[in-house]
Amino acid sequence: MTMNLGYINYLNCFPFYYHMFEKDPLPGVRVVPAIPGDLNLMMADGSLDMSPMSAGAYPDMQEKLVVLPDFCLSSIGYVRSVVLQSRVPIEELDGKRVGLTSASKTSVVLLKILLEKYYGLRPAYSTVPPRPSFENIDAALIIGNDAMLEPDEPIEYIYDLGDLWMRKTGHPVVFAIFAVRIKALPGSSEQVRRIIRSYNHSVAYLRDYEDEVVARAAERYPEMRIDIAQYYRLLKFHFTPQLKKALQFYYDEGAALGLFDPVKKIEFAEI
């Protein structure tokens, strides 16, 4: 039986898939690349069996999923690939038009918590494409590869949300988790174990052969004119107790504002 496995088609997720893509493809595993927002939808409707996905999408489908306990995409402070671009200082966004990316949910909720609770603002939100025009908005939330490209027009204020969240709350941000649909587990537990082993090999490969992984990443994403090695050093791939605590804090903050369903306990996979 073929297992459908999602892949966040951004630079930040490539280190988890390096071994699978470049060294040892997994028979019986079909990799589906997409932006996080689309992967969230496919996990919700069962098109995917397993995937990295927006951490902010988990609360509304928590009864359908279990979370891999060892992996995440996170930053402790500055992350570079989740930003608010604004024509005015963030403190002046009350009543202003803020575009929210359609590419992910984690950062959308993150920004709403920051603006509404920590800055006391009530902007007028609208959903915009991953790389929006500023013709009808005052600010925009942009994530992933798009956030690291030069803006199409001069933008005076750019805020890194990982850094902003850490300064306001004292917590790091878990942007993505790795989840498996509960219904897929009975017939796919061995495939899940093989994928987990592949992820472990990949993360170890980045540690031991950074230049090789970075070179392949640059080939896969040639539009990224950044120091990829430095970017990867900003990211946290292991789901530590500190990061699990930070994710629960984020869920509690979001639920308190009615932004998603409460999460009493993150259900981790035992495989």
Tens digits of residue pLDDT in 249-266: 999 999 999 999 999 999
Q: Kind and range of the H or E element at 1?
A: none
The pLDDT > 90 percentage for the chain reads 91
The pLDDT of residue 156 is 92
Distance CA 161, CA 166 (A): 8
Per-domain residue ranges of the chain: 3-75+173-256, 82-169
Q: Do domains 3-75+173-256 and 82-169 have the same CATH topology?
A: yes
The rounded mean pLDDT for the chain is 96
The pLDDT of residue 151 is 79
**φ and ψ at residue 173, rounded to 5 degrees:** -115, 130
Please name the amino acid found at residue 233.
Answer: R
H-assigned helices in 152-240: 161-169, 185-208, 210-220, 228-234
Torsion angle defined by CA atoms of residues 245, 183, 197 and 1, in that order, rounded to the nearest 10 degrees: -160
Q: Kind and range of the H or E element at 104?
A: none
Average pLDDT over every residue of 168-192: 95
The pLDDT of residue 1 is 79
Q: What's the sign of the alpha-carbon dihedral 173, 174, 176, 181?
A: negative
Average pLDDT over every residue of 54-62: 97
Query: For residue 183, what are the contacts with CB-CB under 8 A and spacing of at least 6?
Result: 46, 64
The pTM assigned to this predicted structure is: 0.95
Give 154's pLDDT tier (boundaries 50, 70, 90): confident
Question: Among residues 173, 98, 76, which one has the least CA distance to residue 142?
Answer: 98
pLDDT at residue 220 tops 90: yes
Question: Among residues 45, 49, 51, which one has the least CA distance to residue 13?
Answer: 51
The pLDDT of residue 271 is 81
Q: What is the pLDDT of residues 237-250, one digit of tens each?
A: 999 999 999 999 99
The pLDDT of residue 46 is 96
pLDDT at residue 153 tops 90: no
CATH of 82-169, one of 1.10.357.10, 3.40.190.10, 3.40.50.1100, 3.40.50.2300: 3.40.190.10
What CATH superfamily classification does 3-75+173-256 receive?
Periplasmic binding protein-like II (3.40.190.10)
DSSP code at position 257: T
Average pLDDT over every residue of 70-87: 95
pLDDT at residue 152 tops 80: no
Distance CA 118, CA 114 (A): 5
